[in-house]
Amino acid sequence: MPALPSDFHVLAVRAIDRILAPDSELAALRVDSGDADLWRGVLVRRRAVLDATGAPTLC
């Protein structure tokens, strides 16, 4: 596996924040799929892991 850029976790946290934002179209589509709580929980846990690596909190 190639080395990840040093700012990878920062970019990943920003992407997750955008996905989980109240105005996110992707989040709205997941609500319609019926598994929105599970999907959101996975993203929240992944964000917590990334945030523990030193990524700034954006939300």
Can you give the chain as a three-state secondary structure string? CCCCCCCHHHHHHHHHHHHHCCCCHHHHHHHHHCCHHHHHHHHHHHHHHHHHCCCCCCC
Quick: pLDDT tens for 6-24. Answer: 888 889 999 999 999 989 9
- Indicate whether 3 belongs to any domain: no
- Indicate whether 2 belongs to any domain: no
Confidence of residue 54 (pLDDT cuts 50, 70, 90): low
- Indicate whether 59 belongs to any domain: no
- pTM value is 0.74
* Number of domains forming the structure of the chain: 1
The residue range of the domain holding 14 is 8-52
